[in-house]
Amino acid sequence: MSPKGKDNKPKAKRKPDAPAKKTTTTNKPVKETTAKRKAPARKRKAVASIEATLPVVSEQPVAVDLTPAAEPGPPPVPEPNAPPLPTGYGHDRIALLVRDPNCLFAYWDLTGDAFGGLVSARGEDFVNRCSWALRVHNHTQGAHHFQPVGVETGSWYLEVVPSTTYSVDIGLVAPDGAFLSVASSKQVSTPRDSISDRIDEEWTVSEAQFEKMFDLSGGNTTMGASESISSVGLQRMRERVALQLKEAISSRRK
């Protein structure tokens, strides 16, 4: 089975719910004060609650089908104050994580000296004419491409292909197209998402026989079928959520 006929050209993928406009207003890496982060909407929710050091969730509970018969409740009592997160760790770093065969997650912390060094070496005017990008290396194919990013977003999801080794650099693209790397990630490999073509000589198995075992193993019904692959933990969570919802409702009732 080939890797599901996916187009082999990696493309950048916007984060879920990302705002369409992602232009950078300054080329200076923002010292990551969370207040200035322009994270995509979904991310912003999580971050906003952290930066306020008061993780209040203002949304109305949605899983009403799980709740006792009652009208939707007010927001739950907020947790007592939680400590703030460090804004950065004083170094220049980009990390690359595997999410699944078709998606990598990169985040960066550019609070070290590298950017300042570039500014001193090349001048502020030059740097202001550059734009930020990720250079995505496909080591399996020996190719790379650039993904423009807003440096202040702090992270990016990349669409990739299975069974492939990648690394990324974050840096500046100069007006003449030259790439000035600020930080480089380690290499990571995306998982395989299909059956191997290799057959073990000691464990020979015919195509038909393997197809049968694959099918009996749930290969044709489970892969990518979220309902069947999702864990009981989901159920457990549903019940915990329900518990909290009940709590919110009953605190109003009492």
Partner 1 sequence: MAPEQGYLILQLHAHLPYVRHPEFEGFLEESWFFEAVTECYLPLLDAFDRLERDGVDFHVSMSITPPLCEMLCDGHLRDRYLRHLRGIVRLAELETHRTAADPEMNKTARFYQELFQRLRFLYEEQYGADLVGQFRRLQDHGLLEIVTCGATHGFLPLMDHPSAARAQIRVARANYEKHFHRPPRGIWLPECAYSPGLDEMLRDEGIEFFFSDAHGILYGEPRPKFGIFAPVRTPAGVSIFGRDMESGKQVWSAREGYPGDPVYREFYRDLGYDGDYEYIRPFLNGDGIRKDTGIKYHRVTGDVALGKKQLYDHDAANELVAHHAGNFMHNRQAQARHLYGVMRQKPVIVSPYDAELFGHWWFEGPKFLEMLLRKLHHDQNEIQTITPSAYLALSTPIQTITPSASSWGDKGYFEVWLNGSNDWIYKHLHEAERRMSQLAQLHVNGLRARAAAQAARELVLAQSSDWAFIMTMATMSSYAVKRTLEHIHHFNTLYQQILTDHVDVGYLEDLESHNSIFPEIDAAVYR
Two structure tokens written together for 100: 């699944």
**Are 96 and 167 within 8 A, CB to CB?**
yes
Query: By three-state DSSP, how is residue 61 classified?
Result: coil
What's the min distance (Å) between Cβ of 140 and partner 1?
15
Q: Is 20 in the site for partner 1 (CB under 8 A)?
A: no
Instruction: Draw the binding track, 97-136, toward partner 1 (x: CB under 8 A; -: no contact).
Output: xxxxx-x-x-x-x---------------------------
Q: Is 226 in the site for partner 1 (CB under 8 A)?
A: yes
In sequence order, the β-bridge partners of residue 158 are 12, 104
In angstroms and rounded to an integer, the radius of gyration of the C-alpha atoms of the chain is: 24
196 to 225, contacts with partner 1 by CB under 8 A?
Answer: 196, 198-200, 202-205, 209-210, 212-214, 216-219, 221-224
Q: What is the C-alpha separation between 227 and 68, in angstroms, rounded?
A: 25
Two structure tokens written together for 12: 């950048």
Q: Is 11 in the site for partner 1 (CB under 8 A)?
A: no
Given the complex with partner 1, which of 124 and 215 has the nearer CB atom?
215
Q: Is 76 in the site for partner 1 (CB under 8 A)?
A: yes
Q: Is 79 in the site for partner 1 (CB under 8 A)?
A: yes
**Are 151 and 118 within 8 A, CB to CB?**
no
Total residues contacting partner 1 (rule CB under 8 A)?
97
Q: Which of 222, 227, 234, 232 is nearest to 193 (CA)?
A: 222
CA 173 from centre of chain: 23
What's the min distance (Å) between Cβ of 51 and partner 1?
11
Q: Is 141 in the site for partner 1 (CB under 8 A)?
A: no
For partner 1, the binding residue among 78, 122, 144, 145 (CB under 8 A) is 78
Q: Is the alpha carbon torsion for 115, 45, 226, 15 positive or negative?
A: negative
Two structure tokens written together for 106: 């990169």
Q: Is 7 in the site for partner 1 (CB under 8 A)?
A: no
Given the complex with partner 1, which of 82 and 143 has the nearer CB atom?
82
For partner 1, the binding residue among 13, 19, 24, 49 (CB under 8 A) is 49
